[in-house]
Structure 1
Amino acid sequence: MRVSLIYLLTSVFSLHLSISIFYLFSLSLSRMDQEYDVIVLGTGLKECILSGLLSVDGLKVLHMDRNDYYGGESSSLNLVQLWKRFRGSNTPPENLGASKEYNVDMIPKFMMANGTLVRVLIHANVTKYLNFKAVDGSFVYQKGKIYKVPATDVEALTSTLMGLFEKRRARKFFIYVQDYEETDPKSHEGLDLTKVTAREVISKYGLDDSTVEFIGHAVALHRDDSYLDKPAIDTIKRMKLYAESLARFKGGSPYIYPLYGLGELPQAFARLSAVYGGTYMLNKPECKVEFDENGKAYGVTSEGETAKAKKIVCDPSYLSDKVKKVGRVARAVCIMSHPIPDTNNSHSVQIILPQNQLGRKSDMYVFFCSYAHNVAPKDKYIAIVSTEAETDNPQVELKPGIDLLGTVDETFFEIYDRFEPVNNPLDDNCFVSASYDATTHFESTVADVVAMYSKITGKELDLTVDLSAASAAAEQS
């Protein structure tokens, strides 16, 4: 079903032509050798969000990219582009359908319906450029099978994940989470969640290890088990976000996803930045960051011109000496002609395979979408399996996730390095984003964006939007 957030995400249309016309007009009036408040390098999703937010704040922004397209690593590819990237050919087989009907995300991620990214979209007022659709299901892998993720007391009672007595214990725990209010001591049941650990809170309800596993990894969306020995407040907030997002549109999952794929998001924020005076320049070779004698960045040079700015924002590829490698992501992109078995014929789902179920150090994720979200032709489906790489063999490493898919028409494998910044922006005026992780949801990605915004501006991003009022208005419209 189409989500009621569409009251806020009003119109569906392709941005490509209108953006191109707008930018061509903008660039015809602009020169690079000027002074700006901020120069942003790279048009990945993080950089485009920041460019839009900073422009709305009234800063003079120049946004550059060495590529001739938007999206960077988070771009969406049509079938010809996908084939060229992975097979070195421009001629995919005809039986897969029209190339232009594919929009395959290279960094696939769903959004929590009540999450931070949705709040950023509303805060920045880019929702008028986009349209979203609910994701059909959220599943977890356990003992060789996949199960619907229960997130409320009612779902706990009907879940096939647990036995009868465990269902009752889980139900009590979910009721505690749903009723918990940080400002209401009566709902705390004598527990200070800023001091007691998640392990201590969970043990109070006597939950089995298997129940703790799906709660921690598939509901709270932790990527490993270190959360168990940290203050419980973070886990409870994550669980409440999941349940609130699930209830927002009464669908089968807490997630939403844009029609035509995530490639629409960078363009929407790019359009926002341009509307507020931001200047965009694509296909700019080299984009060399310039530093003074004190090691502080003061501008960017390309094609003999230098644009000056007080701050430089970029992805890791533009300042490789200011980042460190922290891991690798293994990914398989699969084209299919049917839904994933045992998912109720859902056209879009997320499946999380917890690390302990696979004997791994990190979780594995399955992102699944289809023509229902306009990312593939009629009766074609896109499944993307990803994980933090622990070997050099993605074919073997990703096999547990791929085995869940059934028959696959085509599969493309890749491994890419993941980087995080090591510099201090106060010393060099450089604000570098972290690479995208293996998760198939946006919570960690948008957390990086919000943190970078605070470092760049010195203030907190106000995300206090009234989602309830918006949804209520949508229901009546």
Structure 2
Amino acid sequence: MAQNPLDLEKRYDVIVTSSDLTSSLVAAAVSRAGKKVLHLDPYDRYGQEWAALKLFDVIAAPALLIKEHPLPENVPVDCVATTPPSLISNVHLEAPVFEDATTGKAFLTDFGRTPPDDVIDRFFNEFYPKLKQAKSSTEVKEVLTMLKEELSSLNAFDNSFSIDLTPRFIFSIGEMVDILIRSNVTRYLEFRKIARILTPLAKREGEESNNFAPGSTFKLINVPCVRKDVFMSKTISLIEKRLLMLFLDFIKNASSTKATSEKTVPELTQPFSECLAEQKMTPKLCDLLVHSVLMVERSDLINTSEALAKIGRFMSAIGRFADRPYLIPTYGTDDLVQAFCRYSAIYGATYCLNSVVQSLKIDDQGEGGKKLVSSVNLMMEREGAISVECDHLVTNYQFPTVSQQSPSEKSLQALSRAIVCSRQSICADGLAEYENTSVLYLPPEMVGSRSAVYVFETDKSTNACPKGLYIQFFWCDATLTAVEDLKPVIEKLYSARVGTDSEDSCEPPLWSLYFTQSTEKPYSGTQPLAENLHHISPPVNELDFEAVVAEAKAIFEKMYPEEKRTLESWS
């Protein structure tokens, strides 16, 4: 083992092996509590499955995103072998805009800074085939390095894309926003509101067909979130507006402690569908509430108590920072990772990229013979092998040599994801410039999918792409491959687009990236490997960061229960 070539200390209070969002949040909290932190990442960029892609990364995604990690060699007999997680699989890219040199050149010149013709020709004749045919992430990095050096005039266009692998929102009332404010991590961030909450409105018997795209059974509408929106809405009738305002008053009264205590248990535990019927809500209003606010498939799948709490929280979030309940960092979710890492570094954390943990030494040295991780063996890109001791290890690594569940005991735990680039918004009713950010929940029966699909659309306003383009994210619980799960949904959503007279209102995407993202925990054994080994879970299927914050808090409190006030009064 090399002797601290980077002047690393022999021992750290906490070693964190990944720069995903949960790990970064843990590292920030531990650093703020005054502990010594060594924060590692096996790759050359922060974020892992929370990272952002540039345009050329997308082109090379089939090779770039799939990480193959062979078992480390020469693992000491008293150590447990580890490998970084391989969370992404079944990557498939459809890029018609690049398949033809003419359309590709038009794309670069329309949305870029019009690089010289010889640069564009060389890109399509030399570098694009190399990126598309690359077989490994190492090969991709070599091609990208050459591309950035030899065709530097394309760098600005490449950098104008920042596309999250795992897009999320910040709910205006929640623990993530409280942590950002109390810790003052907001000093590193800027935010924008999600301008539109969309919902699919089903075509009902007798409804005029000219309000729907030909052959479509639904259309997208902008959900009114404040009183002004309700009164100006052309989607709901005057009677429905009155019913909706009465229902919102009912929600406000029901949220009071006295009103809730007076309700009987059957009233609160009954399906929400019965509550809606009692309030004489029309089918259209029921769909608006269930699909856009509660984001559940049907009103009978949630009880009244939970539904009222969610709607009340939704209403309370409106107006805290904006006239919509959701916020998003101006540079996407990847910027949250960067912000927490900066915060942690200010309080003394040491950061090392390209540093792979190859094995752990676990000793029976705790009280009652409890197993504890005593040291980790690292392989650093330039410095070689190093051994560092720690009191706690926070990791998302896998343990390939440790017996866990048998394959027959495991079920599919994954998300199907798609990222689409288009010249058009998913909803034709455009807002003001730089405000085309939208969130949408698609129930399975509406689009013929096997599970509910979440959709998020953004544009230049979050620096996801150049002006004039839209980036659309789709995800759902995986049942088949991402292409099989999501491509039919995307096609139906595009065909439902109405509100424009142009002939190209159903223009297909410029490119689409599909992949499967595992949500399986890195260790599923019945017994802990070590008492001071703390596992980080992959992103789960949610819109906000509640699961991330909950897991980070649980890990911090388990490591340092006496420091619980650090999270409560993080300032």
TM-score over 0.5 for the pair: yes
Among 41, 47, 58, the alignment partner of 1:71 is 47
Q: Structure 1, residues 358-389: CA drift from partner, whole Å, max 9, x if none?
A: 35453201111111222212222211111111
Alignment TM-score, normalising by the size of structure 2: 0.67
Among 230, 242, 247, the alignment partner of 2:314 is 242
Q: What amino acid does structure 2 have at the position aligned with 1:190?
A: K
Moved more, 360-369 or 340-349: 340-349
Q: Structure 1, residues 290-335: CA drift from partner, whole Å, max 9, x if none?
A: 3224543333211332222222212255789679665221111111
Matches of 1:465 and 1:176, distance apart in 2: 36
Segments of structure 2 that go 5 or more residues without pairing to the other structure are 65-92, 99-103, 113-156, 203-217, 365-369, 380-384, 495-505
Matches of 2:477 and 2:280, distance apart in 1: 31
- What does residue 136 of structure 1 align with? 195
Among 249, 258, 278, the alignment partner of 2:349 is 278
Q: Does 1:103 align with 2:131?
A: no
Q: 1:355-434 alignment to 2 at 5 Å?
A: 355-392=444-481, 394-395=483-484, 397-405=486-494, 406-407=506-507, 408-420=509-521, 422=524, 428-434=531-537
Alpha-carbon contact 2:479-2:485 (below 8 Å) kept: no
Give SS of 2:457's match: strand
Matches of 1:327 and 1:443, distance apart in 2: 19
RMSD value, Cα: 3.6
Matches of 1:79 and 1:295, distance apart in 2: 46
Matches of 1:214 and 1:419, distance apart in 2: 33
Q: What amino acid does structure 2 have at the position aligned with 1:103?
A: S
Matches of 1:370 and 1:320, distance apart in 2: 45
Q: Structure 1, residues 196-227: CA drift from partner, whole Å, max 9, x if none?
A: 35536545424456644543442134588786
Q: What amino acid does structure 2 have at the position aligned with 1:71?
A: G
Alpha-carbon contact 1:151-1:219 (below 8 Å) kept: no
Give SS of 1:248's match: coil
Q: Structure 1, residues 419-468: CA drift from partner, whole Å, max 9, x if none?
A: 135456695322222221344433444344344444443347755899xx
Alpha-carbon contact 2:29-2:567 (below 8 Å) kept: no
Alpha-carbon contact 1:337-1:409 (below 8 Å) kept: yes
Q: What amino acid does structure 2 have at the position aligned with 1:245?
A: A
Moved more, 340-349 or 253-262: 340-349
Give SS of 1:419's match: coil
Give SS of 1:260's match: coil
Q: What amino acid does structure 2 have at the position aligned with 1:173?
A: F
Q: 1:24-173 alignment to 2 at 5 Å?
A: 30-31=7-8, 34-86=10-62, 93-94=104-105, 95-96=107-108, 97=112, 98-143=157-202, 144-151=218-225, 165-173=239-247
Deviation at 1:269, TM superposition (A): 0.6
Seen in structure 2, the aligned counterparts of structure 1 residues 128 and 378 have a Cα distance that, compared at 3 Å, is: same
Q: Structure 1, residues 13-69: CA drift from partner, whole Å, max 9, x if none?
A: xxxxxxxxxxxxxx986415x222221111111111111112112222211111111
Matches of 1:348 and 1:67, distance apart in 2: 31
Segments of structure 1 that go 5 or more residues without pairing to the other structure are 1-26, 467-477
- What does residue 390 of structure 2 align with? 309
Deviation at 1:343, TM superposition (A): 4.0
Matches of 1:192 and 1:464, distance apart in 2: 36
Among 321, 335, 352, the alignment partner of 1:264 is 335
Alpha-carbon contact 1:73-1:106 (below 8 Å) kept: yes
Moved more, 67-76 or 146-155: 146-155
- What does residue 220 of structure 1 align with? 294
Alpha-carbon contact 2:201-2:287 (below 8 Å) kept: no
Matches of 2:296 and 2:32, distance apart in 1: 33
Seen in structure 2, the aligned counterparts of structure 1 residues 155 and 247 have a Cα distance that, compared at 3 Å, is: same
Alpha-carbon contact 2:474-2:486 (below 8 Å) kept: no
Alpha-carbon contact 1:221-1:238 (below 8 Å) kept: no
Matches of 1:171 and 1:122, distance apart in 2: 33
Q: What amino acid does structure 2 have at the position aligned with 1:73?
A: E
- What does residue 475 of structure 1 align with? none
Moved more, 254-263 or 64-73: 254-263
Alpha-carbon contact 1:224-1:361 (below 8 Å) kept: no
Give SS of 2:269's match: coil
- What does residue 10 of structure 1 align with? none
Q: Does 1:435 align with 2:538?
A: yes
Seen in structure 2, the aligned counterparts of structure 1 residues 343 and 385 have a Cα distance that, compared at 3 Å, is: farther
Alpha-carbon contact 1:67-1:284 (below 8 Å) kept: yes
Matches of 1:185 and 1:319, distance apart in 2: 55
Alpha-carbon contact 1:41-1:318 (below 8 Å) kept: no
- What percentage of aligned pairs have identical amino acids? 23
Matches of 2:399 and 2:165, distance apart in 1: 19
Deviation at 1:287, TM superposition (A): 4.0
- What does residue 263 of structure 2 align with? 190
Q: Structure 1, residues 100-120: CA drift from partner, whole Å, max 9, x if none?
A: 111010101122233322112
- What does residue 248 of structure 2 align with? 174
Among 351, 354, 368, the alignment partner of 2:440 is 351
Seen in structure 2, the aligned counterparts of structure 1 residues 368 and 206 have a Cα distance that, compared at 3 Å, is: same
Alpha-carbon contact 2:199-2:222 (below 8 Å) kept: yes
Matches of 2:556 and 2:299, distance apart in 1: 29
Matches of 2:524 and 2:254, distance apart in 1: 38
Matches of 2:177 and 2:401, distance apart in 1: 31
Moved more, 385-394 or 232-241: 232-241
Matches of 1:58 and 1:193, distance apart in 2: 50
Q: Does 1:300 align with 2:376?
A: yes
Seen in structure 2, the aligned counterparts of structure 1 residues 222 and 288 have a Cα distance that, compared at 3 Å, is: farther
Matches of 1:160 and 1:289, distance apart in 2: 62
Give SS of 2:34's match: coil
Matched pairs, number: 434
